[in-house]
Amino acid sequence: MAINSGGGKSAMGLLRGQVAVVTGGGAGIGGGISRRLAEHGATIVVNDIDAQLLATLVADVEAGGGTVIPSPGDIRDPAVVEALADTALGVADGRVDVLVNNVGDYRPNGRFLKTGPEQWEALYALNLEHVLRCTRAIAPAMVEHRSGSIINVSTVEAFRGIPANAVYSAFNAAVNAFTRSLAVELGRDGVRVNAIAPDLMDTPQTPAEAMLRGRDPDLIATWVPLGRFGRPEDCADVVLFLASDLSRFVTGHVIPVDGGTTAASGWYGRADGRGWTNLPDRP
Ligand SMILES: NC(=O)c1ccc[n+]([C@@H]2O[C@H](COP(=O)([O-])OP(=O)(O)OC[C@H]3O[C@@H](n4cnc5c(N)ncnc54)[C@H](O)[C@@H]3O)[C@@H](O)[C@H]2O)c1
């Protein structure tokens, strides 16, 4: 992906001189966020489980004149969280301005009555536990410097019911509640806490072809009010807003980045009784 000319040295940089941490920042929504924050002048410290994706990200950001420090590893591992925090805190004498807790996955999914503790624990580790760990590791530095912005990546599925994903949606609802409560707790310390709730992003986790499942792409317009699937940049721009001083009086909010699907949303039982769909169904 191309980086704006000027990259980290851009005079337009909203985050010039800042240090920003992104988990799962190699590709998908996290990749878009990493690139955007670097374009706006932040030194980005990027975690990813995939060394190849991380290498590509580093090459892209550096080619655009940005500064990136990779911090590889599985964010579910507490030692990886600790290494990420140590790396970030070492960049600018213990100051970290932005933390984006992006990693999350709806898999393993399936009907709740067919799941068990092993699956729930896997979803907890992927969607909530590292959010708590990373925040616990990095927020104290923000409090100490009386400044910081934490942005969690949740999902619209935390607002509406999604069959076969009850546990994923429950943990993301927890991310939203954590966002709001922590915002209240840390407000007087100068730290803001917000979240974005994406839907229907064309990413490696949910590629456009998989979302369409053979349907006519013309149907997207009947499904997403803004008439297209989302792109990582759509999320990245909202995260940039939340990370920067433009949102200085905004805290405790979860902002859908969904092309209007929350406003229009509904899961429908199929007429033939065989499961549900949120898609324009075949006749
Ligand atoms: N794609 C969507 O439509 C959508 C919708 C709602 C919410 N979300 C949320 O957005 C976030 C990002 O989703 P995405 O679609 O970009 O995902 P993705 O799977 O396409 O990309 C995830 C990135 O994180 C990395 N990663 C995965 N597991 C990791 C781990 N354990 N440790 C470190 N890095 C890891 C991957 O290598 C990849 O670079 C997730 O929290 C997801 O739940 C996505």
Ligand 1 mutation pick, 168, 203, 278, max ligand atoms within 8 A of CB: 203
> Among the atoms of ligand 1, which is closest to the Cα of residue 157?
6
Q: Rounded to an integer, what distance in angstroms lies between the CA atom of residue 142 and that of residue 62? A: 26
> pTM to 2 decimals?
0.95
Confidence of residue 82 (pLDDT cuts 50, 70, 90): very high
* Residue 168 among the catalytic residues: yes
Closest Cα to atom 40 of ligand 1: 104
Query: What was the pLDDT predicted at 283?
Result: 58
Task: Tell me the pLDDT tens digit for each residue of 236-262.
Answer: 999 999 999 999 999 999 999 999 999
Question: What is the whole-number distance in angstroms between the Cα of residue 27 and the centre of ligand 1?
Answer: 8
Ligand 1 mutation pick, 76, 101, 103, max ligand atoms within 8 A of CB: 103
Task: Tell me the pLDDT tens digit for each residue of 9-58.
Answer: 444 699 999 999 999 999 999 999 999 999 999 999 999 999 999 999 99
Is the distance from CB of 266 to CB of 127 less than 8 angstroms?
no
The answer for residues whose C-beta is within 8 angstroms of residue 30's C-beta and 6 or more apart is 22, 23, 24, 46, 48, 100, 102, 103, 153, 232
Ligand 1 — pocket residues by CB below 6 A? 23-24, 26-30, 47-50, 53, 74-76, 102-105, 153, 155, 198-201, 203-206
Q: Which residue is associated with the tokens 């310390």?
A: 189
